[in-house]
């Protein structure tokens, strides 16, 4: 069996070679490899740049896809299911890195107040309270902010568990309706998956409802924000974004509108990348029956930073992650979006 691996996935070279035939290719250039090995059973290990749809997969003999990403919106799962192609991903692998991004972006734009008493007057709205959003909510709470979570699927699942007696109502997380979150949040951060219910979620009605002076951070997926609605609105106050419609050919008017702009690297930490590689290797091992790799772990570099929540937050966060350098580089050469992303040096996460 052949496994085709995105050549930008770190920590994976040499891992599968003792067990399978391996080819490496750029994420957007898998098709020539698939055609070269027509008729050979194949597995793919990919990132978001490989669009796994009928155009790529038809007559390819692909039987399994493992994505080193938290999301799966680049994979046509209906088509894969119809063709008997297995799919796995790495949910939560870089959730701590994206949380780090959110608070560092806030610090860089003066939104993360140093005074704890002043922070207690701020409300953070978290839209999408999954692996990433929940980490964001918990740190915001630890820093003294009020937190309003919006996540209808999570809310429904919690209610189901309470109703079946499998979860205590006393331990329940409080969720809010979207309009309540929009009307009451001073800082709003998006962490939804990309699907039919979230494309254009931040559209005309969203911005009309948004509290005047509120700020918006998007570290989920670009299409969650409707570019036209954003550009037509006087809200939000500040727009901070790591993700964009039509990447890498981003809308420069939206880039100009952003107070902070980065090339989709929020999740690019050493630890996040190691977690993702662990997940796809283990998934591949389970699919192919490679017992020795079913508990595979990358070499873990124990170099996490420690965030002193009582200390100067801005200086610590910007020391851990000098985010302004990326913002400047993207603004100077937006055509280098993909180059900046590929050449980004992974940073270490923090604990607190």
How confident is the model over 275-285, as pLDDT tens digits? 999 999 999 99
* Contact in structure between 145 and 123 (CB atoms under 8 Å): yes
- Separation CA 156–CA 262 (nearest Å): 34
Catalytic residue among 149, 191, 221, 282: 221
List the one residue out of 263, 259, 265 whose CA is nearest residue 236: 259
- Please give the pLDDT value at position 169: 92
Catalytic residue among 74, 264, 341, 347: 264
- Please give the pLDDT value at position 299: 79
| Mean pLDDT, rounded, for 156-168 | 95
Residue 196, CA distances (Å) to 62, 223, 224 in order: 26, 10, 10
Residue 72, CA distances (Å) to 25, 52, 66, 237, 276 in order: 20, 10, 10, 31, 13
Burial (Cβ within 10 Å: 0-12, 13-18, ≥19) of residue 219: buried
Catalytic residue among 23, 183, 247, 338: 247
CA dihedral 231, 254, 146, 312 (to 10 degrees): -140
221 is catalytic: yes
User: Three-class SS of residue 315?
Assistant: helix
Query: If pLDDT is split at 50, 70 and 90, which confidence band does 302 have?
Result: confident
247 is catalytic: yes
Q: Which residues contact 85 (CB under 8 A, 6 or more apart)?
A: 57, 62, 63, 64, 65, 79
Percent of the chain with pLDDT strictly greater than 70: 100
Query: If pLDDT is split at 50, 70 and 90, which confidence band does 140 have?
Result: very high
Indicate the pTM of the whole model. 0.92
Q: Extract the tokens encoding 65.
A: 């896809």
- Separation CA 204–CA 209 (nearest Å): 9
Report the chain's mean pLDDT, rounded to a whole number: 96
What order of strands is seen across the sheet that includes strand 21-25?
Answer: 21-25, 2-6, 42-46, 62-67, 86-88
Residue 301 has pLDDT above 80, yes or no: no
Strand partners, 65: 44, 87
| Mean pLDDT, rounded, for 285-312 | 93
Q: Which residue has the tokens 């690297």?
A: 265
- Separation CA 322–CA 329 (nearest Å): 12
Q: How far, rounded to the nearest angstrom, does the alpha carbon of residue 37 sit from its chain's CA centroid?
A: 32
């Amino acid at each position: 069996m052949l496994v085709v691996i995105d050549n930008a996935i770190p920590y994976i070279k040499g891992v599968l070679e003792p067990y399978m035939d391996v080819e490496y290719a750029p994420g957007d250039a898998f098709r020539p490899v698939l055609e070269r090995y027509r008729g050979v059973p194949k597995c793919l290990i990919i990132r978001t740049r490989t669009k796994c749809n009928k155009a790529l997969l038809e007559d390819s003999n692909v039987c399994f896809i493992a994505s080193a990403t938290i999301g799966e919106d680049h994979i046509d799962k209906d088509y894969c299911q119809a063709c008997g192609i297995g799919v796995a991903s790495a949910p939560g692998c870089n959730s701590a890195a994206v949380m780090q991004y959110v608070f560092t972006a806030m610090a860089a734009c003066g939104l993360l107040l140093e005074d704890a008493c002043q922070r207690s007057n701020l409300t953070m709205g978290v839209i999408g309270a999954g692996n990433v959003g929940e980490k964001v909510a918990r740190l915001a709470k630890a820093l003294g902010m009020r937190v309003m979570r919006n996540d209808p699927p999570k809310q429904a699942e919690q209610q189901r568990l309470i109703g079946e007696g499998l979860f205590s109502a006393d331990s329940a997380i409080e969720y809010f309706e979207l309009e309540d979150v929009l009307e009451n949040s001073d800082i709003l951060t998006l962490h939804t998956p990309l699907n039919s219910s979230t494309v254009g979620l931040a559209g005309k009605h969203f911005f009309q409802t948004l509290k005047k002076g509120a700020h918006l951070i998007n570290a989920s997926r670009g299409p969650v924000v409707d570019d036209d609605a954003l550009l037509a609105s006087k809200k939000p106050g500040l727009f901070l974004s790591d993700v964009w419609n039509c990447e890498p050919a981003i809308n420069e008017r939206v880039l100009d509108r952003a107070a902070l702009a980065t090339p989709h690297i929020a999740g690019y930490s050493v630890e996040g990348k190691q977690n993702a590689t662990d997940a796809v290797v283990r998934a591949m091992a389970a699919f192919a029956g490679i017992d020795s790799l079913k508990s595979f772990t990358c070499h873990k570099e124990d170099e996490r930073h420690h965030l002193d929540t009582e200390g100067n937050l801005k200086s610590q966060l910007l020391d851990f992650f000098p985010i302004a350098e990326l913002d400047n580089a993207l603004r100077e050469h937006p055509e280098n979006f993909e180059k900046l992303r590929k050449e980004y040096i992974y940073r270490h996460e923090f604990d607190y």
